[in-house]
Amino acid sequence: MSAPILAGAEPVSVKDGPIGIVVLHGYTGNPHSMRPLAAALAAAGHSVELPLLPGHGTSVEDLIPTRWSDWSSAAQAAYADLAGRCETVVVAGLSMGGSLALWLAERNPGVAGVVVVNPLVDPPAASFREMLRGMVDAGESSLPSIGSDIAQPGAVESAYGATPIEPLLSMFEAVDEIAAGLGDLRCPVLLFSSRSDHVVPPESGDLLVDRAGGPVERVWLERSFHVATLDYDAAELEACALAFVSRAAAPR
């Protein structure tokens, strides 16, 4: 039986507006990290779906048996729900949620725009993956926590205290496919990159800028770490995202 959902990890579903936005959280995190952005989008009159991805928001033991296929299926379902009743759909995500957002856009031509915050796009090195597989073979199941990489004192992300390895490896395999498909990504992209990120190197954003088939607007966040949605630059991030959604939804 799964543990109770952590405080702040409850999904968000707002179905009031003609513009829909799928909002996706990161690996080992939960909707808590994206709740302020989702609230800002909903307050602007948009329909918002912020799902709790499988294995997240309860106990780390629930995450261990899950894989990319579980999280991407949940993301696709959220997109299909909004696409069935909204005139325009934009997808947004933080970290792995950004990877999922790009995955959705590459596979769904109807996506009008993508908003990503420190997404994992650059496939990790083969040597790193081999090291992780060696750890699994040696009986180790997790790495230290990657949660709550935030510069602002007192700000804390609701995230697991460990990082399961095998689900992480499944994400890396998906990132291989995402990187290979960037040339087919035609919709506009708003990319937020933190200058100091201790989870995903800014070079991941460089790859997105270099390879995307459509326009990429990059906003550098000077004061925030990885979880920028809960950090010093959150207000700027929300304002830029709202303006981008309006532009992406404008008739062409």
Which residues are part of the catalytic machinery?
A: 95, 197, 226
CA of residue 44 relative to chain centroid, distance: 21
The residue ranges of DSSP E strands in the chain, in sequence order, are: 12-14, 19-24, 47-50, 88-94, 111-117, 142-144, 162-164, 189-194, 216-221
For the chain, the straight-line distance linking the first and the last C-alpha, in angstroms and rounded, comes to 49
Q: How far apart are CA 63 and CA 61, in angstroms?
A: 5
- Residue 232 tokens read as 């010093």
CA dist list (Å): 115 to 177, 198, 218: 19, 20, 10
Q: Is 107 exposed, middle or buried (0-12, 13-18, 19+ CB in 10 A)?
A: middle
Q: Taking the C-alpha atoms of 144, 150, 154 and 156 in order, what is their torsion angle to the nearest 10 degrees?
A: -50
The residues facing 48 across adjacent strands are 14, 21
